[in-house]
Structure formats: C-alpha cells, structure tokens
Amino acid sequence: MKTIETTAVIGEDRILQVQLPPDITPAPHQVAVVIDEPAAATSKSLDDFPTIDVGPWPAGLSLRREEIYGDDGR
C-alpha cells in the first residue's frame, strides 16, 4: 500500500487528473480521494451572542458547597 499526498487545484470543470509515479503497476487499484474543504470564515465574535441581564446578584448570596448541597453532600 502506498500513500501519495499532494495538493490539487480543482477547476470549474471539476476534473482531477493525477500523474502517478512509475513504480505503480498498471492494474486495478483501490483509490481514495479525501476532500478537506476549507473552514467557512466566520465573522462572529462573542459580542454577537445574545445575553440575558437578570440584574445584580442578591446581597448575601453564598455559593458554598455546604450551603448548596446540605449535610449529606448531595
């Protein structure tokens, strides 16, 4: 089994021609073509995400584990 990696430019006709090295024997071969499409450019930033303002935290709010879960630890 041989792996040949190269970069190809696909034209408008969508035809890909490959020149193989001379050590490949003329015979039926199984060939895999993997198209790694470029990632779509995104212009989103964290400022674009929706937010919900619920106001300030309550005075005296405690997020200690003991107060959230109680004595049994759950």
- Is residue 72 one of the residues assigned to a domain? no
Decide if 4 contacts 20 (C-beta within 8 A). yes
- Is residue 31 one of the residues assigned to a domain? yes
Instruction: Tally the C-alpha atoms within 13 A of residue 73's C-alpha that lie toward its C-beta.
Output: 0
Decide if 35 contacts 18 (C-beta within 8 A). no
Mean pLDDT of the chain: 83
Task: Report pTM.
Answer: 0.41
> For the chain, what is the domain count?
1
pLDDT of residue 50: 87
Q: What is the span of the domain harbouring residue 21?
A: 1-37
- Is residue 19 one of the residues assigned to a domain? yes
Termini Cα distance of the chain: 56
Q: Could you count the other beta carbons within 10 Å of the beta carbon of residue 59?
A: 5
